[in-house]
Amino acid sequence: MGRKRCAACGERFSPCRHVPDQQYCSKPACQRERRRRWQREKLRRDPDYRANQAVAQRRWCERHRDYWRKYRQSHPDYTARNRARQRERNRNRDFNATAPLLVPIAKMDVCNDKIPVTSGTYRMIPARGPGIAKMDAYLVEIQVLSEGYSDRG
Ligand SMILES: [Zn+2]
């Protein structure tokens, strides 16, 4: 019954009346994918947008420069737990299809002047909340903005 194919999941859907050239179905995951692609295109094509994002990222880093260091100092058990869990994860990596892991978690510091992370798809595990027990992981795309923009991906 759907007249179009979703550009993300490939399933058929009927575009809503007000958006005749709708490319993505209404599933939340597909809408997220639409926004993600939109932002990637925007970053690729719009130097002003790119610069603004880089500035925002830098400001955030300045505000949070000591965040992880302080957090680790005040949560030694968190750090130890993370190390143990990371070792465990390194032992059974069954999820290496898309990208390298951000390791080790305890040393992760996005605010280094030299950013140790390259643009790409990463697995993100929430540091707090129910995710810690269930080990839910999300795939996130990271685009490094501050060291010049690389076009890969
Ligand atoms: Zn879809």
pLDDT in tens, 54-84: 888 888 877 777 777 777 788 888 778 878 8
Instruction: Write down the pLDDT at residue 74.
Output: 83
* pLDDT value at residue 55: 86
Name the range with the highest mean pLDDT among 26-35, 117-126, 142-151: 26-35
Mean pLDDT of 25-32: 93
pLDDT 10s digits, 83-124: 887 777 666 555 444 444 444 444 445 555 555 667 777 777
According to the model, what pLDDT value does residue 99 have?
40
For 27, 47, 100, 130, the CA distances from 93, given in Å and listed in that order, are 30, 38, 10, 22
Ligand 1 center–CA 18 separation, angstroms: 18
> Whole-number mean pLDDT of the chain?
73
Query: How many residues comprise the chain?
Result: 153
Q: Report pLDDT for 112.
A: 52
pLDDT of 113 reads 52
- If you measure from the C-alpha of residue 3 to the centroid of ligand 1, how many angstroms do you get, rounded to a whole number? 13
Please tell me which residue, 146 or 57, carries the higher pLDDT value.
Answer: 57
Distance (Å, whole) CA 137 – CA 28: 17
pLDDT class for 149, splitting at 50, 70, 90? very low
Q: How far, in Å, from the CA of 10 to the mean position of ligand 1?
A: 6
81 closest CA partner among 35, 127, 33: 127
Coil, strand or helix: which one is 60?
helix
Question: What percent of the chain is predicted at pLDDT more than 70?
Answer: 65
At 135, is the pLDDT very low, low, confident or very high (cuts 50, 70, 90)?
low
> How remote is the CA of residue 5 from the centroid of ligand 1, in Å?
8
For residue 14, the CA-to-ligand 1 centroid distance in Å is 11
Q: Which two tokens stand for residue 90?
A: 């390194």
The domain ranges of the chain are 22-142
Asked if the model's pLDDT at residue 47 lies above 60, the reply is yes
